Amino acid sequence: MAIAASAPLLTIDGVPLKVRLARAERSRKLKALALILPLFLFVVVTFLMPLGRMAYKSVINEETIGRLEQTNAALAEWNGQDVPDEAAFAALAADLKAAQEKRQAGEIAKRINYEYAGAMSKFKGVTRKVTSMESGPYKEVFLSADKVWADPRLWRVIKNASEPYTSQYWLSSVDLRQGAEGIERVPADQAVFVDVYARTFWIAGLVTALTLILGFPVAYLLATQPPARANLLMIFVMLPFWTSLLVRTTAWFVLLRSEGPLNDLAEMIVNQRFEMIFTRFGTVLAMTHIQLPFTLLPIYSVMKTIPPSHVRAARSLGAGPFHAFWKVYFPQTVPGIAAGCLLTFILSLGYYITPALVGGPRDQMVSYYVAYYMNNIINFGQAAALGGMLLIITMVLYWAYNKLVGIDKMKLG
């Protein structure tokens, strides 16, 4: 039946149908927007704003902003290669004197120390000297106090620190730093972070793989058993899941100790005690235990929606048991696997307490260092950059994952 395209359709009150439809669509969209607005504002306030603040902290020279103005001006024309002239020394002395009165000189010394090891004590020493001096010349006083003041690298660091923004923290989180001619690698005995990131992603990946291998069969069992038995088995999965993370980690600490029950059992069977606590083995074991329900449950929920008739049909058409499973059942569980693995991987990246309690010094993940810079060194900039770098790498990985697996288009049953 051909529809006349020439005359536009009209509704009862004479308005064109298209217009009516568009209006209804718009009002539906506005209502939907109004409903999610409170939640959206909540996410902005509690998620995006802190992230923005973290990004800001990772590039701002918090300890020196506004406190090295004169030095900054004096070094503007400096060539970066030789020792600066008296004007620069005088400017630095003036800035340090002013800072000392406001009790800010210590923070300046600390900031320079981040990039130039040992500078803190030299700064403190010279600050004491110049505050007792009424006027210059200052260059000789500095140079006779310590030979470090003749090092152009120190002055490059001071110049960078006197700017409001710095790339120091982001560079250092990938073991780089500002050298004489551009960016260079940090000396090997100070290069820690690239290893730490590699270790973090490796452990997270390992835990994801292990939870998948262990969780898939259990999910299959849960999905295919009769309801009474399945519910009972489900309780065995859920009860540990509902127990606090810290309680479970501490339980592993007790189990894995060299005088603990597992080692007592090992002594009985193979007459030897194994070192399990404060090792990579212990860390991965505890993390796998904690993450297992996170991988298992999405897979289970997808498996529940697969009609058992599919596999039966495949068998009746002549497929062997493994073939039927692999070609008919497994592909339908892929969305669940993808979701479960992604969840476990992302969660594992952020683990702090489990490696801290059960792992050794070589098992600490990025979060430990973020906490270390926040608490011990009180260098919020470095902590922010480390966290930000983790976020960026994770987002890049997620984008690659999405391209491979197409998460956005998946349906989870």
Partner 1 sequence: MKNILSLTVSGLAVAIAFSTVDVPKAVAADQLTIVSWGGAYSESQRKAYYEPYMKEKGIKIVEEEYDGELGKLKAMKDAGNVTWDVIDVDSAHALAGCDEGLLEQLDYSKIGDKSKFLPGTALDCAVGTIAYSTIFAYNADVYKENPPTTLNDLFDTAKYPGKRGLLKKPFGNLEWALIADGVPAEKVYEVLSTPEGVDQAFKKLDTIKKDIVWWEAGAQPPELLANGEVVMTSAWNGRIGNAIKEGKNFKIVWDYQEFDWDFWVIPAGTKNIDGAYDFIKFASDPKNMSQQSKYIAYAPTHKDAIALVDPAIAPTLPTFPDNMKTAVTTDLVFWADNNEELTKRFNAWLAQ
Contacts of 194 by beta carbon, 8 Å cutoff, 6+ apart? 174, 175
Question: Would you count residue 66 as binding partner 1 (CB under 8 A)?
Answer: no
Question: Reduced to 3 states, what is the DSSP secondary structure of residue 10?
Answer: strand
The DSSP annotation for 20-42 comes to: HHHHHHHHHHHHHHHHHHHHHHH
Which position among 44, 117, 183, 246 is part of the footprint of partner 1 (CB under 8 A)? 117
Q: Crossing angle for the helix pair 380-405 and 366-375, nearest 10 degrees?
A: 160
Question: Reduced to 3 states, what is the DSSP secondary structure of residue 48?
Answer: helix
Applying CB under 8 A, the site for partner 1 has a residue count of 44
Q: How far apart are the C-alpha atoms of 217 and 234, rounded to whole Å? A: 13
Contacts of 170 by beta carbon, 8 Å cutoff, 6+ apart? 58, 59, 385, 388, 389
Question: Would you count residue 153 as binding partner 1 (CB under 8 A)?
Answer: no
**Residue with Cβ nearer partner 1 (106 or 413):** 106
**Residue with Cβ nearer partner 1 (38 or 182):** 38
Report the nearest approach of partner 1 to the CB of residue 144 (Å). Answer: 19
Report the nearest approach of partner 1 to the CB of residue 361 (Å). Answer: 4
Residues 351/248, Cβ–Cβ less than 8 Å: no
Question: Reduced to 3 states, what is the DSSP secondary structure of residue 396?
Answer: helix
Question: Would you count residue 41 as binding partner 1 (CB under 8 A)?
Answer: yes
Which position among 155, 201, 278, 300 is part of the footprint of partner 1 (CB under 8 A)? 278
Question: Would you count residue 77 as binding partner 1 (CB under 8 A)?
Answer: no
Question: Would you count residue 30 as binding partner 1 (CB under 8 A)?
Answer: no
Question: Would you count residue 49 as binding partner 1 (CB under 8 A)?
Answer: no
Which position among 9, 15, 35, 49 is part of the footprint of partner 1 (CB under 8 A)? 35
Residues 248/241, Cβ–Cβ less than 8 Å: no
**Residue with Cβ nearer partner 1 (226 or 361):** 361
**Residue with Cβ nearer partner 1 (331 or 361):** 361
**Amino acid at site 66:** G
CA-closest candidate to residue 359, choices 215, 230, 200, 218: 200
The β-bridge partners of 182 are 179
Applying CB under 8 A, the span of 84-92, 149-157, 189-197, 405-413 interacting with partner 1 comes to 189-197
**Residue with Cβ nearer partner 1 (266 or 397):** 266
Report the nearest approach of partner 1 to the CB of residue 207 (Å). Answer: 20
Q: How far apart are the C-alpha atoms of 291 and 295, rounded to whole Å? A: 7
Which position among 65, 106, 143, 281 is part of the footprint of partner 1 (CB under 8 A)? 106
Question: Would you count residue 258 as binding partner 1 (CB under 8 A)?
Answer: yes
**Residue with Cβ nearer partner 1 (256 or 286):** 256
Report the nearest approach of partner 1 to the CB of residue 105 (Å). Answer: 8
Please list the helix, strand and coil fractions of the chain in percent, rounded to the nearest 5, in that order. 70, 5, 25
Report the nearest approach of partner 1 to the CB of residue 72 (Å). Answer: 21
Question: Would you count residue 362 as binding partner 1 (CB under 8 A)?
Answer: yes
Report the nearest approach of partner 1 to the CB of residue 230 (Å). Answer: 31
Residue 318 class from Cβ within 10 Å (0-12 exposed, 13-18 middle, 19+ buried)?
A: exposed
Q: How far apart are the C-alpha atoms of 69 and 78, rounded to whole Å? A: 15
Report the nearest approach of partner 1 to the CB of residue 21 (Å). Answer: 20
**Can you list the positions of beta strands (E) in 196-281?**
none
Question: Would you count residue 361 as binding partner 1 (CB under 8 A)?
Answer: yes
Q: How far apart are the C-alpha atoms of 84 and 353, rounded to whole Å? A: 48
- The site for partner 1 (CB under 8 A) is made up of 31, 34-36, 38-39, 41-42, 46, 102-107, 109-110, 113, 117-118, 120-121, 124, 189-192, 195-196, 257-259, 277-278, 361-362, 364, 372, 374-378, 380
